[in-house]
Amino acid sequence: MERVFNDRRYLIPFRSTLLPQIFTDVLVVGGGVAGLRAAIAAASVGAEVIVLSKTDLSQTNTAWAQGGIAAVMGEADSIDAHAEDTLTAGAGLCDEPMVRQVVQDGPARLRECLDWGMELDRQSDGSLDAGQEGGHSFRRVFHAGGDATGTELQRCLVAKSDSLPGIRLFEQCFLLDFITASDEPCSRVLGAITYHPRFGLQMIWARSTVLASGGAGVVYRETTNPHAATGDGLAAAYRAGVEVADMAFMQFHPTVLYLPGAARSLISEAVRGDGAHLLDAGGHRFMTEVHALAELAPRDIVSQAIVRQIASQGGQHVLLDCRHMKAFAARFPGISALLKTFDLDPARDLIPVHPAAHYTIGGVRVDAQGHTNLAGLFAVGEVACSGVHGGNRLASNSLLEGLVLGEITGTEAARNGDALGTPTKIVSDIPKSDHGELDLSDVRSSLRSAMWRNVGIERTGSKLRDAVEMFDFWGRYTLDKIFDEPAGWETQNMLLVGALIARSALWREESRGCHSRVDFPEASQAYRVHDGWARGVGGPTVTPVVGRVEVVE
């Protein structure tokens, strides 16, 4: 990485001894499925836990999830089949033991949520209603409120957390950086420095810290993610010396509502699972010619096919045809209500759709218990790279991963914290920038546009190189600044995350899963490795994939 991305250890100057001090056993950064499940697990083994969320809890990716949670809940389905589907979607880059762990423990974690009061949709005989999504060989996607699965899961986990006296939730509290005993690489993480609009800067000292801050879809101009998904946790981890891996892999969701002025709202994969077709500008159903599973092919294949269709015919979008589907409004009440606000009726109208950045597969490298390479710091959920999703995530596997690995990581963090000693004095000195004023919103929107144009669904070496050079240049006069509120810190974090994605994508001279290089259209055995990036370490370090050998689609 360019020096500018490695120079800065902390975003702001501070003296730890002059700030308010808070102490806890486990600090969890993130209040989505992964963070809350980790917090519940840690509190259940007796730890005092603080959970931070920079937004209120309706603005997590978890709360926005629509389609459902994949799990093997009946005898006709099997753990092997779910694992096989996950490995196939993962395009040879999944770590097989991690896949098996998540798929195996999934049913128990989902039943536990039902015991805690989660309401999943049921059929008239009372049995759970399962949906079908792309890449799944079985109807195993369990949903709530039709297309409001995430909202219900979030509600259930917040209620469970509230019932445990050991958990304190700090909303609107922004993680700036992890604090480490020294600036040396691999120094132990001791907690975090945070900012709250009412309480200002605070030092939170913790025996263990769990990072569960979600994805970074907002680095792209087109994204399904809520505005908070700016990759802060990932950037803070990188600054602290944590290795991040597989950053090239950003999953693009194929079907996002594409109307000028409308938020890029997801039209869930479950809609295609229930029979919707994709039509090109001429009304032709093109996916049947692209893949045997047609509209239910893995997401990368559908997204790439849409982009090619648009490139060959012109225009901005393709069309989703739901006109033949029965009882659309009952099955997808949220999507129906959204469409109605634009005067679209799925029984009558074709819906304009386009792909958008959806799920950050790369992230903080973790082992099976959520350990990062820094003692005292764990990571879980979308911010982590556990090896479960490989080169492409199977639909509805991420809520599942958050539940399963959240439980394991939270327990591990609670059991393996060091004793809290006297707080170390930490001093961050940053010289004043000698560059001029900055139009922050311009940097942010330029970055998001460049990511979409140059580091998007179809990539080439020359465009990626341009992006890397642009971000290095922008970084020189953006990362040397000192900001005093979240918009500035988020922009600095987004620039770092964008630079990591672009570098990893440039390095990976192959096409695999959701990483598509027009100049290297095939998967290459030489790149069937995880690429890891860490502050101050030149070039990627590569680690072999754990599991089977063949390269699959």
Ligand X SMILES: Cc1cc2nc3c(=O)[nH]c(=O)nc-3n(C[C@H](O)[C@H](O)[C@H](O)COP(=O)(O)OP(=O)(O)OC[C@H]3O[C@@H](n4cnc5c(N)ncnc54)[C@H](O)[C@@H]3O)c2cc1C
Burial bucket for residue 333 (CB in 10 Å: 0-12, 13-18, 19+): middle
Which residues are bridge partners to 170 per DSSP? 52
Residue identified by tokens 């860490």 is 534
Catalytic residue among 207, 299, 459, 517: 299
Which residue reads 């120094």 in tokens? 187
Query: Is residue 459 helix, strand or coil?
Result: strand
Taking a C-beta distance cutoff of 8 angstroms, is the pair 119, 152 a contact?
yes
Tokens at 407, concatenated: 């439980």
Q: Give the three-class secondary structure for 394.
A: coil
CA distances from 489 to 195, 486, 533 (A): 11, 5, 21
Is the separation of the CB atoms in 106 and 71 below 8 Å?
A: yes
In 183-211, which positions are buried (b, 16+ CB within 10 angstroms) versus exposed (e)?
eeeebebbbbbbbbeeeebbbbbbbbbbb
* CA–CA dist 435, 47 (Å, integer): 46
Residue 416 Cα distances to 177, 209, 251, 369, angstroms: 22, 11, 33, 11
Residues 6+ apart with CB under 8 A from 193: 10, 12, 14, 16, 19, 176, 177, 179, 201, 202, 203, 204
Q: Is 70 left (phi over 0), alpha (psi -120 to 50) or beta?
A: beta
Residue 505 C-beta: closest distance to ligand X, Å: 20
One-letter amino acid for residue 83 of the chain:
A
Cα-based torsion angle of the residue sequence 398, 404, 407, 413 in order, rounded to the nearest 10 degrees? -70
In whole angstroms, how far apart are CA 529 and each of 124, 385, 391, 543? 47, 13, 10, 6
| Residue whose pair of structure tokens reads 């409001």 in the numeric block | 148
Task: Tell how strand 351-360 and strand 167-171 pair up.
Answer: unpaired
What is the distance between the alpha carbons of residues 506 and 257, in angstroms, rounded to a whole number? 30
The answer to whether residue 331 is catalytic is no
Binding site for ligand X (CB under 6 A): 29-35, 52-55, 60-62, 64-69, 149-150, 174-175, 212-214, 224-225, 228, 232-233, 266, 359, 381-383, 396-399, 402
Catalytic residues: 299
